[in-house]
Amino acid sequence: LSATILALDFGGTKHAAAIAAPGERQWRAVRRAPAPPGADANSDIRTMIALARELLSSASPLAVGVSFGGPVDTERGVVRLSHHVPGWEGVSLPRILEQEFGVRAAVDNDANVAALGEYRFGAGQGCRSLLYITVSTGVGGGWVLDGRIWHGADGMAGEIGHTTVDPNGPLCPCGKKGCLESLAAGPFVARAAQEQLTEHPGEGRLLLDLAGGKIEEVTPKLISDAAEGGDDLSRRVLDAAAQALGRAIGNAANLVNPDLVVLGGGMMNSGDRFWKEIRRVSCETALPQLRVEVVPAALGNEAPLWGGVALAEEILGLAS
């Protein structure tokens, strides 16, 4: 156990710790715990250290790589904030972990770390650059360029969720109109379907059936199931979300021309039609001289943990 890397994933609703030996592609062991309501930064850190100690007992790992569910100032080595848990502002998470485990630790935000995880161990193996996009309750993203996470001047690179896809689109909570997030993230897709059901009574029968007749119980999963079953309203709603994603991806391809675009997150389980429409509009939006390869994430919810391993390997000089 002393020759293992410790990977930690501080999520909004759950935490995970895992250990793996450098070069290996399977976990030696994984531990998970919910982030209980009422948690703060200190309790989160204690929970995580307890998980890690279950894995390591008194041994030291070789290095620690950490995914954090919120913005991180990687240059200063501090968490900026958590959108879910109070008390994280300015916490020097790498230093705390270095003191606890006696080895070096690296921390980055979850979308960046997941991008690195997919690049090194998942869908992006063998490519030089990729854009990772996660589409779930929000839309996040991260870049790997020439094998390294690209942070940008303020550590904010990858915010594809708040690129404007349609200046006349729906209002996003960020205050702008037609952000990708407001057109493609799960809660917004569910709301769009609910609005359509209300505006067009008689349409979307299958969707409404699946929701037990209750418009307010419509979820992205039910929309996907209804679309699969041939429900026109559900297909229309999902097509619109796919088109927004395709447009944002095509724009990103025109701007940066990455080798690969990797899509993960719960919304990406919305079926073949959803994927086809994303790919169609991505290619249509990008110039014909450039390739836009759009593939599913390979690591699922373990991408941040594997990205943690990759961060730790960078510390150890093991990253190729």
- Binding footprint of a second copy on the chain (CB under 8 A): 71, 127-129, 141, 143, 145, 150-160, 162-168, 174, 176, 247, 250-252, 254-259, 284-285, 287, 289-291
Q: Are 63 and 105 in contact (CB under 8 A)?
A: yes
User: How many Cα atoms are found within 13 Å in the side-chain-facing hemisphere of 89?
Assistant: 2
Q: Which is nearer to a second copy, 261 or 303 (CB)?
A: 261
Q: Which is nearer to a second copy, 146 or 272 (CB)?
A: 146
Question: Per residue in 133-142, is it b (16+ CB within 10 Å) or e — as a string?
Answer: bbbebbbbbb
Q: Which is nearer to a second copy, 232 or 293 (CB)?
A: 293
CB 62, min distance to a second copy, A: 28
Separation CA 241–CA 186 (nearest Å): 9
CB 85, min distance to a second copy, A: 19
CB 291, min distance to a second copy, A: 6
Tokens describing residue 245: 């994603």
Q: Which is nearer to a second copy, 181 or 302 (CB)?
A: 181
**Which residues have CB under 8 Å from 215's CB, separation 6+?**
194, 197, 198, 208
CB 125, min distance to a second copy, A: 15
Separation CA 138–CA 266 (nearest Å): 10
Q: Are 260 and 124 in contact (CB under 8 A)?
A: yes
Q: Which is nearer to a second copy, 2 or 289 (CB)?
A: 289
CB 294, min distance to a second copy, A: 13
